[in-house]
Structure 1
Amino acid sequence: MSRYHEIKHRVATTFQRHVGNPLLGRLPNQPLLETTGRKSGEPRRTPIGGRKVGREFWIVSEFGEKSQYVRNIQADPRVRVRLKGQWHSGTAHLLPDDDPRARLKALPRLNSAAVQAIGTDLLTIRVDLDG
């Protein structure tokens, strides 16, 4: 990763961790992804943008495998997704062969624009929802 991308990643994740995520996580209709902390075993909730299509929920991570929630998924793919205030269990799949830029065109426009603007290593994630 280039020095520019390292700085961009550090600035963006610091802002998300201390400002963006705490604010967005309180909004009742904000989708949330709940993973299990790979070290702590505790639930970790992350505001996300994405779209439910049938029994699947699609996300694009802006920092790929450097994202903490992606690292948690690698350790345990069982997740929960909060959509419109309701929690849904599922299994997350990292899709490195998917075209994340093409995928973003099918996801909510505002979030997709933000992911493309700050992202340095885009990665598509599909969550297969139970039931």
Structure 2
Amino acid sequence: MSRFDENKFRAVTWVQRHIANPLTRRLPFQTVLETTGRKSGLPRRTPVGGRRIGREFWLVSEYGEKSQYVRNIQADPRVRVRIMGKWHTGTAHLVPEDDARARLKSLPRLNSAAVRAVGTNLLTVRVDLTD
């Protein structure tokens, strides 16, 4: 990662962690991914943009394996996703072979534009929903 990308990563993640995420995860219509903290074991809720397609939920991580929720998935792939106010359990899978830029074209426009604008290492994530 270049120095510019590293600085952008730090700035964007600070804003997300301290301002955007605490506000948006409380919105009832916001999609939220809940992982288990790999160190704490506590639930960690992250607002995400993605789309349910059948029994799968697809999203793209803007920072790939540097994203905390991706690192949590690597430690424990059992997750919950709040879609339209309803919680669903599932198992998350990292899909590095997927074309993340092409995937963004099938996901909600506003979030996809933001991910393209700030992302430096895009990674597709698929959640197989069990309920």
**Common fold, TM-score beyond 0.5?**
yes
1:92 paired with 2:118, answer no
Deviations, residues 41-64 of structure 1 (Å, cap 9, x unaligned): 000000000000000000000000
**Residue 98 (structure 1) shift:** 0.3
Percentage identity across paired residues of the two chains = 73
- Residue 26 of structure 1: aligned partner: 26
**Residue 27 (structure 1) shift:** 0.5
**Residue 67 (structure 1) shift:** 0.2
**Please, what TM-score do these two structures have when normalized by structure 2?**
0.99
Q: Secondary structure at the match of 2:87?
A: strand
1:116 paired with 2:116, answer yes
**Please, what TM-score do these two structures have when normalized by structure 1?**
0.99
**Residue 66 (structure 1) shift:** 0.2
- Separation of aligned partners in 2, 1:25 and 1:111: 14
Alignment of 1:37-76 (within 5 A): 37-76=37-76
- Separation of aligned partners in 2, 1:83 and 1:58: 12
* Letter matched to residue 118 of structure 1: V
Runs (4+) of structure 1 exceeding 4 A deviation are none
- Separation of aligned partners in 2, 1:38 and 1:26: 23
Unaligned runs of 5+ in 1: none
RMSD across aligned C-alpha pairs, in angstroms? Answer: 0.4
* Letter matched to residue 124 of structure 2: T
- Separation of aligned partners in 1, 2:79 and 2:25: 16
